[in-house]
Chains A and B, each alone.
Chain A
Amino acid sequence: MAIKVGIVGIGHTRFGNSSEYDLADVMAYAATDALQDAGFLERRREIDQVVVGNMASGMFCHQSGVASSLISRMDMEPVPAELVENGPASGASAIKIGYMAVASGMADIVLVVGGEIMRKVSGWEATDLVATILHSEAEYDMGLTLPAFGGMFTRLYMEKYGLTERDLALLAVKNHRNGAKNMYAHIQAPCTIEAIADGPEAAVVNTYVAEPLRMYSTCPVSDGAAALLLVNMDSPKVRDFKKKPIRIAGIASATDTHCVHNRKDPLRLEAVRLAAEKAYKMADLGPKDISFAELHDAFSILELAISEEVGFFERGKSFLAVRKGETDIDGRLPINTSGGLKSKGHPVGATGVSQAVELVRQLRGEAEEGRQVRNPKYGMSVNFGGFGNNVVALICAKD
């Protein structure tokens, strides 16, 4: 029988601008939060393995060996520590590797930390450095960036399904409403549909980034870290923690072509579909069982496209559900209760772990007033690497 893996501790820094701090210190802050949450700080040297998710500390901070650095900052030697890199899905990949360590029987307790400091460089440099995950000759050299692919994907979706720019603005309004109540969010401010779509100043307030994507359909550049403490739920050690575990019911990943232009249907996100299918199968669940979800909305269009690929909505129909409020906090299927990447922020290596922290907060009933989902049982997250070429899906359960 497979070993059950649970999350007994969560930690999170407030996302935003932490550029004056050292990356390892920021990660250590979130890790310390997670250990305190689990009541395990004093016993941290009993942890069997630390897994760190980070995309590009070498480029953003001129810093390498961050897993070792983190161990030292927390006085945790000789606990083993390694780094996992999967672009903007590094965080969820770190969770997956941590899960595998426990599920295989190699470890009973694993600390997973995801973090990124992106704002030590200018916005222009950050856009360029993130773009290095694209195909070096066929995409990056052409001048393409992630927002460029977001814009081209959005245009195709609009052409095929009738999505409007106002629909994208509605997503921003929803996610900012949630993020405004999230103490960890980068942008804790609501926005109105008048200000960013309907009003006379909207085109000035909400300028184009990569047409037809506007600023309010694009996530900010953020710094921050998040952490989880994983435990073997079948081990007697599980009783040593302060909080009851939230079970990882399913976790899986899949890949797709590196070059976006080589996908048979450029509107399909095959890696999302496959990762979700595998996670559902592992959890013995389906899309109808999910109570709420955190979906990787680096560009608002991705919240829609991912929600369709994972089976929440029919293809080309998700934005109609958003119009009806079905993905609001009190809707049929709340999506991006944390504010999503749009409002909570997107420190690339931290995002997957941050999404899992939100799943745990919601399933424990610990989210702030006004954004707590009513009696959730299963939460799902999708963390998106590259432009969908390496994706991780996670399902957490409250038993």
Chain B
Amino acid sequence: MIDFSIYGAKTPTIKAYKCLTCGAVYYPAPMVCGKCSTRRDPVTGKGWETFDLEGSCVLLTWTRVWNLPEGYTKKYLLFGIVQFENGLRASGQLEVEDPRIGMKLNATVKESDERPGNPVNVFVFRE
């Protein structure tokens, strides 16, 4: 087994944001806290902390898209919106055989190079 960690390969993550003044959490990042109006400086990050958005979540709705945009080579892709235990919600890809609204899922993150431009981190929700 090759240990790829020695090459500095990073596990892809997607960050959520917490305002340290009032404790409100956000995904995606705001520039100003919606509750207490604390400003977020994207360079210093002062006054805010970040955490990985992943793990247990519930499926709110889903679709199977057959007309994928330029760049995708698959026949179709499933997408869904989920809610995490901390109340945050996210949209992303869904890899579930038989999706049902309300089912429990696990949010993971993968690097995707399907769209034009640099590779990006995307959510993949699985059972």
Contacts and interface: CB of A to CB of B under 8 A. Distances in A.
Contacts of B90: 138, 261
Contacts of A154: 63
B91 interface: yes
A210 interface: yes
A262 B89 contact: yes
B115 A143 contact: yes
B32 interface: no
A185 to B, nearest CB: 22
Interface in A200-217: 207-213
A211 B60 contact: no
Contacts of A262: 89
A58 to B, nearest CB: 16
Give the secondary structure class of A's interface.
Answer: helix
Interface stretch (B3-11, B42-50, B77-85): B77-85
Contacts of B72: 143
Contacts of A212: 63
A152 B82 CA distance: 12
A160 to B, nearest CB: 10
Contacts of B65: 145, 147-148, 151, 209-211
Contact of A143 (B60, B62, B93): B93
Interface residues of B, number: 32
Contact of A152 (B28, B70, B79, B122): B79
Given A143-B114, A152-B81, A155-B101, A259 B91 contact: yes
Contacts of B101: 155-156, 159
A259 B82 CA distance: 13
15 contacts: A125-B70, A127-B68, A138-B91, A139-B91, A142-B122, A143-B122, A145-B69, A147-B65, A151-B63, A151-B64, A151-B65, A210-B67, A211-B64, A261-B91, A266-B61
Interface of B: 27-28, 60-72, 77, 79-81, 89-93, 101, 112, 114-115, 120-123
Q: Closest 10 A-B residue pairs measured CB to CB?
A: A151-B63, A128-B69, A261-B89, A141-B120, A138-B28, A152-B61, A211-B64, A127-B69, A128-B70, A124-B70
